[in-house]
Amino acid sequence: MARRRNKQWNVLADGLAQHGDFIKVPSAALEWETRLPLILDEIDEASADICAIQELNRYEELRALLALRGYDGCFFPKHVSPASRNRCPPDGLAIFYKKDRLEVAAQPADRLQGQQVVVVTTHLKAKEGQEMDNIRLSQGQGGQAGSGQQQQQGSHLVPVIIAGDFNTIPTSAVCKMFQGHTVPLDSLWDLPNSGEPTAAASDAPGAAAGGVDTEFSTWKFRSVGESKRVIDYILWTRGRGLQPVARWRMLTEQEIGPTGLPTLRYPSDHVALCADFQWTFS
């Protein structure tokens, strides 16, 4: 039996940060030079075994720094990235993993226990409206089908973890699809939080664990208005030996401050998710 920690985070792409219409955020908080050390602090605080990352476009730089911390990773850039319009590299998806504990096979394998798991990260279509909802549902169905092709290992069903920015709320069609599929997935948001804070909150005055009803994974102010909601997820296959143990709580409004995200203390407009699992499968 092994205990493994999983982190999920949209880190906010360089270029998109400076041109993201964050109307209350000081410009210094949007620069990569300010945000990179804070990104590393957040990753260091969790010391997760697996980190699923979206909107990363300084992959080689971050990979080199995380290699010093025992991580290796893989990266898949977008074919068409809005960050490129701002003369920045295209952003994309990355998965980093602790090399002394995990290795990549057809599925990532636990070096110490010999256990295998499929890890998927995704970043679904942004923006509101029925058309966008339909696109997200189609993207989610494609991701579910792709992960399903990797779930069979001989007679053994390999567990799956899906982590990503879905850009939609838990009651949306794509979230219902994941949780109501023939291979149902459970959600981090169904777990009570452990009260353990993220790195940015660990020394905040007045820090207090909030209930799930008050939690959010993104909070920002743009010209079109305020957006504060849950749109980021960690999901896992039910009944295949992935036993959730705890999840970290989210940042509170008090800890973030009146400008919303990002801030000079927290580098993204998304709050990282973190959950611990017991791997009990053989």
CA 42 to chain centre: 12
The pair of structure tokens assigned to 76 is 């898949």
Collapse the DSSP code of 155 into the 3-class scheme (helix H, G, I; strand E, B; otherwise coil) and give the result: coil
All domains of the chain in start order, with CATH: 2-279 (3.60.10.10)
Q: Kindly tell me the number of DSSP H helices and DSSP E strands found in the chain.
A: 5, 16
Q: Whole-prediction pTM value?
A: 0.90
The pair of structure tokens assigned to 215 is 């939690």
Helix (H) or strand (E) holding 161: strand 160-165
Q: At what angle do helices 59-67 and 32-46 cross, to 10 degrees?
A: 40
Q: Hey, what amino acid is at 29?
A: A
Report pLDDT for 100.
Answer: 95
Q: How many CB atoms lie within 10 A of CB 126?
A: 13
Report pLDDT for 174.
Answer: 95
**Average pLDDT along the chain, 282 residues, taken 10 residues at a time:** 93 98 99 99 98 99 99 95 96 97 72 78 94 93 64 69 97 91 86 71 41 81 98 92 93 97 99 94 60
Report pLDDT for 24.
Answer: 99
Report pLDDT for 157.
Answer: 79
What whole-number distance in Å separates Cα of residue 118 and Cα of residue 128?
A: 30
Report pLDDT for 257.
Answer: 98
Report pLDDT for 202.
Answer: 47
What whole-number distance in Å separates Cα of residue 193 and Cα of residue 186?
A: 15
Report pLDDT for 197.
Answer: 62
Report pLDDT for 208.
Answer: 37
Helix (H) or strand (E) holding 66: helix 59-67
Which residue, among 82, 92, 94, 93, has the nearest Cα to 18 in the 3D structure? 82
Pairing relationship of beta strands 118-123 and 160-165 according to DSSP bridges: parallel
Return the exposure string of 24-57: e unless at least 16 CB atoms fall within 10 Å of the residue's CB, then b: ebeeebbebebbbebbbbbbebbebbbbbbbbbb
